[in-house]
């Protein structure tokens, strides 16, 4: 169910909305395995009617399930928009749709949340990535005729004499 505000409630006084909105209702259309929104959006909003617009201020919080792009570890990234402010015109070219005296706030929430998504989520700033492995090498040498683990291919080429 989308997050809507009834304009008739704003005629006499400002309106406050608090609660949770399931992530599926945000319709984030995530096809990414790196960032997922599975838990609900928590919102606290104060809505004020101006002459020909709505002024919305408050806080938004959405925990994102992320996979570190370096080490592939799962972690939770708290997405917090605090303070969050949005001006929605009720008239003019960029006016919001009004259906049955209600304005749907969900598209505005979705837009600002998507803009705050981490592009390259890291579990830690100092994450070094996947650990280096020495598969197939029991000791420090690579075996007969093969370079040692610490040497590079360039070092072996430098040994050639033409």
pLDDT tens by residue, 5-42? 888 878 778 888 899 999 888 888 777 788 888 899 99
Q: Domain range holding 86? A: 4-115
Q: Is residue 46 part of a domain?
A: yes
Report whether 63 contacts 79 (CB < 8 A). Answer: yes
Residue 133 in any domain: the answer is: no
Concatenate the DSSP letters of all residues of 52-82 into one string. Answer: SEEEEEEEEEEEEEEE-TTT--EEEEEEEEE
Judge whether 26 lies within some domain.
yes
Residue 130 lies in a domain: no
Is residue 79 in some structural domain? yes
The yes-or-no verdict on residue 157 having pLDDT over 60 is yes
Looking up tokens 């705050």 gives: 116
Q: Is 56 exposed, middle or buried (0-12, 13-18, 19+ CB in 10 A)?
A: buried
Q: How far lies 39's CA from each of 22, 24, 42, 136, in Å?
A: 7, 9, 9, 43
Could you give the maximum distance between any two Cα atoms of the chain, in Å?
A: 92
Name the residue with higher pLDDT: 52 or 1. Answer: 52
Percent of the chain beyond pLDDT 70? 88
**Taking a C-beta distance cutoff of 8 angstroms, is the pair 15, 47 a contact?**
yes
**Domain membership flag for residue 109:** yes
Q: What is the domain count for the chain?
A: 1
**Looking at the domain assignment, is residue 34 inside a domain?**
yes
| pLDDT of 143 above 60 | no
């Amino acid at each position: 169910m989308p997050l809507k505000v009834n304009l008739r409630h704003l005629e006499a006084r400002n309106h406050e909305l608090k609660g949770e909105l399931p992530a599926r209702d945000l319709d984030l259309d995530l096809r990414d395995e790196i960032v997922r929104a599975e838990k609900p959006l928590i919102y606290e909003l104060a809505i004020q009617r101006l002459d020909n617009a709505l002024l919305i201020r408050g806080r938004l919080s959405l925990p994102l399930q992320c996979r570190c792009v370096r080490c592939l570890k799962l972690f939770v990234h708290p997405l917090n928009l605090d303070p969050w402010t949005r001006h929605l015109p009720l008239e003019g070219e960029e006016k919001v749709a009004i259906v049955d005296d209600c304005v749907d706030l969900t598209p505005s929430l979705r837009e600002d949340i998507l803009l705050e998504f981490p592009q390259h989520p890291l579990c830690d700033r100092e994450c070094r990535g996947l650990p280096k492995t020495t598969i197939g090498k029991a000791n420090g040498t690579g075996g007969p005729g093969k370079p040692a683990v610490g040497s590079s291919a360039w070092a072996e080429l430098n040994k050639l004499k033409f």
